[in-house]
């Protein structure tokens, strides 16, 4: 109803007052009847307070009924008001003109009261139904708008998680793509550095879609990168992430994940597969290997699972392809899967593969196979090619193992001195490194162990013409010596706090120093650039 009354409002428009009296006499019992004697007056009444229905004479001075109807239908506010023409004209062409103008019905004059009542009642009922539909549509549209806004948030979250690719490094090149089946997908990929010479690569698939999956992805990625910053074992990273996710997984989502860490100096790739699709390794000689080892179930399903890792040797020119099941499970109109065989066939045919060419080629092959069929799952691909050539850089290695005894420290120093002399390391650099040895090893022997049992300390040295790399590992109590605040060397000796100078020396002698706790061991990595 358009007014504060229980009765619907009917506007009768006619230039003959007697006709208006007839209409009012028939309808006044059940309806509020307003009247207008011409078109302009009718439009003013409608503009002020739109009625529920208009009874409109066709033949009127100034403005005929057709023009009045056209103006009502042109206005979004009034276009849904039903208009019934009242006319003495009975030509089919006249009726057609009325319907073209937007009329809902015709009633011939002289007016038959039962017909008028029936037509008005019918069209008001139709309008009420239309109003209800419009209201329902508005509600649905509001829900749709909110859903789209939510999906936009999810898409933004998902896109923010994807890495920004830097220019190809000397050690490797990498390319990736993700094509979501819906507005927000459940896949993600990533690559990031771990220390000075290692890079992590991963592809994952969350069991759900939408905003919830994007948030779940975000948490998983943050946990994984945080753990990788202090642990370069793929097995222990995935084990820890799984325990964190499964501990309070009310959503009952889970994640398939493949993560690999590449040592860019040696080409050694360590990896863990948590219920994910087996990746492929395209060797530089053209052979294709399926890396089908499984190291544990999906992440988030159960706490306490100890994941494992394997390793393989990548050679210069080898390409590793990681992907989600949206690739192999892509279907054509015949419900046929793309499958592993087609993927292997494409990789076997790829000549001198480049990471980006592999990604583009697989994507094109899947699209050609689907041939326009609707994509049912997210398609994510990541490929990286190992570029380093070990033959171009000679690496000299020294592995020292000593017991946790002060007397053994001097033996380690002698072994390093002999190694430094053999490789032509300058006396100044050799002396500086030995000072570092003495400081670090003395601290380990003195403070790392809380029992009287024998322990082994491992010192691994790698020397290239450009860099000296030292890794010291012990199984003592967790301790990060680099976390200690540097002493204020500007103070006098009497005013300085005791301790800290040794670690300060280490930081100043070496160009880079990192610490991580890895599988119940302290690992300190030191590097020094050589002139």
Cα separation values, 248 from 239, 253, 302, Å: 15, 11, 10
Same domain, 336 and 401: no
The pLDDT of residue 251 is above 70: no
Is residue 295 included in any domain, yes or no? yes
Enter the tokens of residue 426: 């300058």
Same domain, 400 and 345: no
Same domain, 358 and 215: yes
Cα–Cα dist 415/398, whole Å: 9
CB neighbours of 436 closer than 8 A, spacing ≥ 6? 470, 505, 506, 509, 510, 526
Cα–Cα dist 42/57, whole Å: 11
User: Are 32 and 66 within 8 A, CB to CB?
Assistant: no
Same domain, 94 and 171: no
More confident residue, 487 or 237: 237
Same domain, 168 and 35: no
Cα–Cα dist 500/479, whole Å: 14
Cα–Cα dist 31/8, whole Å: 5
Same domain, 419 and 490: yes
Mean pLDDT of 193-199: 83
CATH number of the domain to which 172 belongs:
3.60.40.10
Model-level pTM?
0.53
Q: Which of 336, 361, 390 is the last residue of a domain?
A: 390
Mean pLDDT of 226-233: 83
Question: What confidence category does residue 498 fall into, taking pLDDT thresholds of 50, 70 and 90?
Answer: very low
Mean pLDDT of 279-295: 91
Enter the tokens of residue 100: 């073209």
Same domain, 486 and 514: yes
Q: Which residue has the tokens 């190291």?
A: 295
The pLDDT of residue 496 is above 50: no
The pLDDT of residue 493 is above 80: no
The answer to which of 86-90, 249-253, 364-368, 492-496 has the lowest mean pLDDT is 492-496
**What is residue 281's predicted lDDT score, i.e. its pLDDT?**
94
Q: Which of 292, 205, 219, 222 is nearest to 256 (CA)?
A: 205
More confident residue, 394 or 260: 260
DSSP per position, 221-289: HHHHHHHHTT---HHHHHHHHHHHHHHT-TT---EEEEEEEEETTT-EEEEEEESPPP-EEE-TTS-EE
- Number of folded domains that form the chain: 3
Same domain, 104 and 172: no
**What is residue 248's predicted lDDT score, i.e. its pLDDT?**
77
Residue 435, phi-psi category: left (phi > 0), alpha (psi -120 to 50), beta (remainder) = alpha
Is residue 3 included in any domain, yes or no? no
Cα–Cα dist 53/120, whole Å: 8
**What is residue 14's predicted lDDT score, i.e. its pLDDT?**
94
The pLDDT of residue 28 is above 60: yes
Mean pLDDT of 218-225: 82
Mean pLDDT of 242-260: 86
Is residue 174 included in any domain, yes or no? yes
Same domain, 126 and 240: no
Report which DSSP code applies to 401. Answer: E
> Above pLDDT 70, what percent of the chain?
85
Of 117-126, 165-174, 492-501, which one has max mean pLDDT?
117-126
Bridge partner list, 35: 12
The pLDDT of residue 50 is above 80: yes
Parent domain of 509? 393-529
Cα separation values, 465 from 348, 443, 462, 508, 530, Å: 38, 30, 10, 21, 7
User: Are 370 and 331 within 8 A, CB to CB?
Assistant: yes
Is residue 2 included in any domain, yes or no? no
CB neighbours of 114 closer than 8 A, spacing ≥ 6? none
The pLDDT of residue 331 is above 70: yes
CATH number of the domain to which 122 belongs:
3.40.50.2300
**What is residue 26's predicted lDDT score, i.e. its pLDDT?**
93
């Amino acid at each position: 109803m358009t007014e504060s009354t229980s009765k619907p409002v009917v506007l009768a428009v006619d230039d003959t007052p007697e006709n208006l009296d007839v209409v009012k006499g028939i309808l006044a019992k059940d309806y509020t009847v307003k009247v207008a004697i011409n078109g302009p007056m009718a439009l003013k009444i409608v503009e002020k307070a739109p009625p529920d229905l208009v009874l409109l004479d066709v033949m009127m001075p100034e403005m005929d009924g057709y023009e009045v109807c056209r103006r009502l239908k042109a206005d979004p506010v009034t276009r849904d008001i039903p208009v019934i023409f009242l006319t003495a004209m009975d030509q089919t062409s006249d009726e057609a003109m009325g319907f073209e103008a937007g009329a809902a019905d015709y009633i011939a004059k002289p007016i038959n009261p039962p017909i008028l009542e029936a037509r008005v009642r019918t069209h008001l009922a139709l309008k009420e139904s239309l109003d209800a539909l419009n209201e329902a549509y508005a509600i649905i549209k509001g829900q749709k708008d909110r859903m789209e806004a939510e999906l936009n948030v999810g898409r933004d979250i998902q896109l923010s998680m994807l890495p920004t690719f830097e220019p190809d490094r000397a050690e490797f090149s990498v390319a990736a793509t993700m094509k979501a089946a819906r507005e927000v997908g459940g896949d993600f990929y990533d690559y990031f550095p771990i220390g000075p010479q290692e890079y992590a690569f991963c592809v994952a698939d969350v069991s759900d879609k939408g905003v919830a999956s994007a948030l779940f992805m975000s948490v998983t990625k943050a946990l994984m990168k945080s753990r990788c910053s202090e642990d370069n074992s793929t097995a222990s990273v995935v084990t820890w992430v799984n325990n964190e996710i499964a501990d309070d997984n009310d959503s009952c989502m889970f994640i398939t994940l493949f993560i690999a860490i590449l040592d860019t100096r040696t080409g050694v790739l360590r990896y863990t597969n948590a219920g994910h699709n087996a990746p492929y390794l395209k060797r530089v000689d053209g052979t294709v290997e399926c890396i089908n080892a499984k190291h544990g179930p999906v992440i988030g399903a159960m706490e306490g699972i100890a994941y494992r890792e394997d390793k393989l040797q990548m050679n210069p020119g080898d390409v590793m392809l990681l992907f989600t099941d949206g690739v192999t499970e892509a279907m054509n109109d015949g419900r046929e899967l793309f499958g592993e065989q087609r993927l292997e066939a494409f990789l076997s045919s790829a000549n001198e593969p480049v990471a980006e060419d592999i990604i583009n080629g697989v994507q094109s092959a899947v699209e050609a196979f689907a041939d326009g069929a609707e994509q049912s799952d997210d398609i994510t691909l990541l490929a990286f090619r190992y570029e380093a050539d070990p033959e171009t850089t000679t690496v000299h290695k020294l592995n020292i193992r000593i017991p946790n005894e002060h007397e053994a420290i001097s033996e380690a120093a002698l072994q390093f001195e002999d190694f430094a002399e053999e490789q032509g390391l300058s006396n100044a650099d050799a002396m500086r490194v030995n000072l570092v040895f003495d400081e670090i090893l003395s601290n380990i022997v003195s403070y790392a162990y809380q029992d009287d049992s024998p322990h082994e300390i491992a010192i691994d040295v790698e020397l290239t013409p450009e860099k000296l790399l030292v890794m010291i590992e012990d199984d003592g109590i967790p301790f990060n010596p680099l976390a200690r605040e540097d002493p204020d060397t500007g103070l006098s000796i009497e005013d300085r706090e005791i301790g800290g100078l040794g670690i300060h020396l280490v930081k100043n002698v070496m160009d880079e120093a990192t610490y991580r706790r890895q599988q119940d061991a302290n690992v300190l990595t030191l590097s020094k650039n050589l002139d």
